[in-house]
Amino acid sequence: MSTSETVTFDAGACPCNAGRLVKRVTSQGNPWSGVDVAFSIDCPACTTEWRIDRTMMVLRSSESAYYSALAADRVARDAVHALVLPLIEHFLKELEAPNKKALHTELTRLNLTTMSYRQFLEHMRRGNNASAAVTSTRNPGWLSSIADAHGVRDQLDRLSQTLKSTGQACTHAAQQVVRRKIQ
């Protein structure tokens, strides 16, 4: 038998003033469960334009610009990755490390991996490629030099510049998302 009880409160006018915001407080009828507070919008127009995020109202149209910025950033990141991955694979092949220990030592020396030797072994044991253990952005000088050696330095610089711009656009778009605290 449930003893939960929900009490509804008026939480003020909706943004267009035609409807109301509703606060529902549900208590479980025992002292160890806290209360659940949920807000909703009792207005068809505002429900279309806004969504509730805990105690905030978020303007949906302002979020779509942010999602577009995120998508563009993903495309730019993928383009850099597609250019860099074959360079890394070529580098690893040329390295001709005699064993995993030697390979990890070299990646560490060049500041190209965040993995400890133990993590690297686990990574390889799971059937991953060594190239996926390389974080090339940790050593921009090294990355530029291998791009140079393959004649794609200009392309890398261009794609990196684009990625920088899309990252800034994401930050900017995130700041433009309209949020209203529900009183």
Cβ-based nearer residue to Zn ion, 12 or 140:
12
Considering the complex, what minimum distance in angstroms separates the CB of residue 77 from Zn ion?
A: 39
Q: Write out the DSSP string of 138-176.
A: G-HHHHHHHHHHTT-HHHHHHHHHHHHHHHHHHHHHHHH
Whose tokens are 């711009």? That residue is 165
The site for Zn ion, by CB under 5 A, has a size of: 7
Among 14, 112, 147, 159, binds Zn ion (CB under 5 A): 14
Contact positions with Zn ion (CB under 5 A) in 45-74: 45-46
φ, ψ dihedrals at 122, nearest 5°: -65, -40
Among 4, 5, 12, 16, binds Zn ion (CB under 5 A): 16
Considering the complex, what minimum distance in angstroms separates the CB of residue 67 from Zn ion?
A: 24
Decide: is 13 part of the binding site for Zn ion (CB under 5 A). Answer: no
Decide: is 22 part of the binding site for Zn ion (CB under 5 A). Answer: no
Around Cβ 14, how many Cβ atoms within 10 Å? 21
Decide: is 35 part of the binding site for Zn ion (CB under 5 A). Answer: no
Among 18, 37, 71, 132, binds Zn ion (CB under 5 A): 18
Q: Which amino acid is at 66?
A: Y
CB 173 within 8 A of CB 66: yes
